[in-house]
Amino acid sequence: MSLQANIMDEIKTAMRAKDTVALEALRAIKSEMLLVSTASGSKEELTEEDEIKMLQRLVKTRKESARIFTEQNRPDLAEPELAQIAVIEKFLPAQLSEEEVEAVIAKIIAETGASGIASMGKVMGLAAAQLGGTAEGKTISTIVKKLLV
């Protein structure tokens, strides 16, 4: 089942359950899917890779908002953001642990013979392609810096 059909089913379920937080998150996904698909000008469906990137972007935005609300001592605003993250993450592939990501990056570094921070771009590109959707870019970046320095 495509992500779009899956989202529509979940929206119906959330409406029946009167789950406003889930409904808001699902509508945000649907809206973003529409924006992304029409922005390119083509009528083709989004690829799975595009869908994962879009969902990761939505999660990242909400995490940043929740962090800001928490810093400003506004838990009433942070809680809905965190709840929406949980809803959106259901549609993402399972995330790898930091140890698993580190093992993959170490293997990439060994294969390419990369050394020093100057090789970071090369390693990041390969790691992002290989880990696509199973790890956050920030996590990948942190681990690459740690292993290359």
Q: What is the dihedral of CA 40, 46, 52, 57, to 10 degrees?
A: 30
Which pLDDT score, from 0 to 100, does residue 6 have? 92
pLDDT of residue 121: 85
| Cα dihedral sign, 34-38-44-46 | negative
Residue ranges in the chain whose pLDDT is less than 50: none
Output the pLDDT for position 84. 95
What integer pLDDT is reported at residue 79 of this predicted model? 95
If phi > 0 it is left, if psi is from -120 to 50 it is alpha, else beta; for residue 111 that is alpha
Are 25 and 88 contacting, i.e. CB atoms less than 8 angstroms apart? Answer: yes
